[in-house]
A and B are shown apart, each in its own frame.
Chain A
Amino acid sequence: MTPLINPVTLFFASIFTSNILLSNFLGMCSFISISKDWKSSFGLGMAVTVVMTITAAISWVVLFYVITPLGLEYLSFIVFIVVIAAVVQILEMVIDRASPALYLSLGIFLPLITVNCAILGAILFLQIRSYNFLQSVAFGAGSGLGWWLAIMLLAAIRERTEKSPVPAGLKGPGITMITIGFMAMAFIGFSGMIAVQ
């Protein structure tokens, strides 16, 4: 049943209280790799937001008008992935034209957005929770911005830890994972504030 939550509330909720990365632990791969450099993090975060919003919208349309009426729920995974891949491809072309420097710095991680589980995760969430169109778009945009917020925070923290005396064994991935853990714990403080479903 479609929940009664206001899209605007849902938007803010998906950024803070159920942050797709820090509460649901989706989208970790590029999160850890790209957060080394805040400029690329900013660019990637924005790219993920755009992809999530657009794919949420398109997927909802496909879900509502094609999959559900025809009873093809078993095809939903495949169709969603195809939609995500197409949107990422288009985004790649646009970024390459608008800013070749950003395109180069993101490198392989731009097409890797396709398999970023946060995106498929967001779409599956909107399917399971039966959001309507506005809620889906708000949820997609909010999740994207939540992902962006998390990667920017981590990039900022990593800039500091790079220069701090971290024990040799923990340098790099070690201290990063510990940091992410702390960030997640901090965001637990938000949990339950707003019901998203």
Chain B
Amino acid sequence: MNPIILGPLVVAGSAALLALVISLVDSVVNNYGEVTIDINHGKKLFKVNGGSALLGTLASQGLFVPSACGGRGSCGACKARVLSDVGPVLPTETPYLTPQELADNVRLSCQVKLKKDIAIELPEELFSVKKFKATVETIRDLTYDIKEMVFRLDDPESIAFESGQYVQIVVPAYGDIKEEVQRAYSMSSRPGDSGRVELLVRLVPGGIATTYVHKFLKEGDSMELVGPFGEFRVHDTPTTMVCVAGGSGMAPFKSMFYDMRERGTFPEKEIWYFFGARTTRDMFYLDELRQLEKEWPRFHFVPALSEPKPEENWTGDTGLITDVLDRYIKDRVGKDKGLEGYLCGSPGMINACIAVMTNNGIDQSNIYFDKFA
């Protein structure tokens, strides 16, 4: 045969034959068959095809383990306790696990590959976490760096959550950023308004999600949300609530207050809300909250500016929010029912407020916080 034909034929033929062998081996070696995932000692059982990582496989079955990096092994949020044997801990997992966690067989579910039947333990709250397809209904500026976003939920159409919980928004690839990430934001909408989710997003320099929200997202765009997560909520006691937040830390409280007012829940609780900022340009919802205070006798709103400009004619309290808090607890807040502390913000602010509260006799076990951590 003509060498011009024979040559390429032989090369292509051998390459094709070998490719066939490779795919045969692939289907044997990488075929892990069906595996069973046993969660919380039989509470939930999934029969799935093995071979992928635990995180993604659970997500495909509708169980969403929290993850900020989308399974790339760089956030350490997807921890799960593994009860069966899945092999030794991988070097990609060890930087994110404490010695205690390693001893308890806690692993990163994005790094655990499903090769055979597996039994794991997950927090019960994750069973009610869902993924939502949503459309951006409104985006509005509250201050120079905080935007209020409202999502309308399309599929599923409603979300069941308790005030104080948060969702993860899925930020798609944009600009120079090639892979999607997830970031957490507390919900400021009421649970009763279950077809909507409202978030307060503050621009963080260099932040992947906040840059997307502030510069790229428009009304009418779609986004995915995962939630609800979180254990920060109102405690069912008659004790008076002393709440402190600043900036976007207001979000969970907005949800809590309006929800309590709408449903009349926890009828014996008095609520004091301290909102600190530097000048009026950092303040928002002032009118709404003052209005709420007028209409709802058990709600007391104390906004405080630390450095008001004279031209702003600020008539409210001045000073650092921790000082204002201290003054009020000593003189103004009624202590006959006891006091509980609720805090949302940076670790620095939370630690400072805890100090003020404990100095005024509030026991640390009665102080609840949603640390930005």
Contact = CB atoms under 8 A, between A and B. Distances in A.
Interface of A: 62, 66-67, 70-72, 74-75, 78-79, 82-83, 86, 89-90, 93-94, 97, 100-101, 104-105
A72 B6 contact: yes
Interface string B10-28: 1100110011011001100
Given A90-B21, A93-B25, A93-B30, 16 more contacts: A66-B14, A70-B10, A72-B3, A74-B7, A79-B14, A82-B14, A82-B15, A86-B18, A90-B22, A93-B29, A94-B25, A94-B29, A97-B29, A97-B30, A101-B91, A104-B90
Of the listed residues B15, B19, B115, the one surrounded by the most CB atoms of chain A closer than 10 A to its CB is B15
What 4 pairs across the A-B complex have the smallest Cβ distances?
A: A86-B18, A93-B29, A90-B25, A82-B15
Interface string B77-119: 0000000000110111000000000000000000001010000
A94 B28 CA distance: 10
Which secondary structure dominates chain B's binding surface? Answer: helix
B8 to A, nearest CB: 9
A75 B11 contact: yes
Contacts of B30: 93, 97
Interface of B: 3, 6-7, 10-11, 14-15, 18-19, 21-22, 25-26, 29-30, 87-88, 90-92, 113, 115
Contacts of B90: 100-101, 104
Given A86-B19, A89-B22, A100 B87 contact: yes
Nearest to A103: B90
B22 A86 contact: yes
A79 B15 CA distance: 8
Contacts of A86: 18-19, 21-22
Contacts of A66: 10, 14
A100 B91 contact: no
A59 to B, nearest CB: 11
A27 B26 CA distance: 28
Contacts of A83: 14, 18
Contacts of A105: 91
Contacts of B21: 86, 90
A62 B113 contact: no
Contact of A78 (B11, B113, B115): B11
A75 B22 contact: no
Nearest to B13: A66
Nearest to A80: B14
Contacts of A90: 21-22, 25, 29
B91 A79 contact: no
8 contacts: A70-B6, A75-B11, A83-B14, A83-B18, A90-B29, A93-B26, A97-B115, A100-B90
A71 to B, nearest CB: 8
B11 A82 contact: yes
A111 to B, nearest CB: 13
Contacts of A94: 25, 29
A3 to B, nearest CB: 27
Contacts of A74: 7
Contacts of A82: 11, 14-15, 18
Nearest to B111: A100
A67 B11 CA distance: 10
B92 A72 contact: no
Contacts of B113: 100
Contacts of A89: 22
B19 to A, nearest CB: 7
B91 A104 contact: yes
Contact of A72 (B7, B88, B91): B7
Nearest to B88: A101
A105 B14 CA distance: 32
Contacts of A97: 29-30, 115
A100 B91 CA distance: 10
A100 B113 CA distance: 9
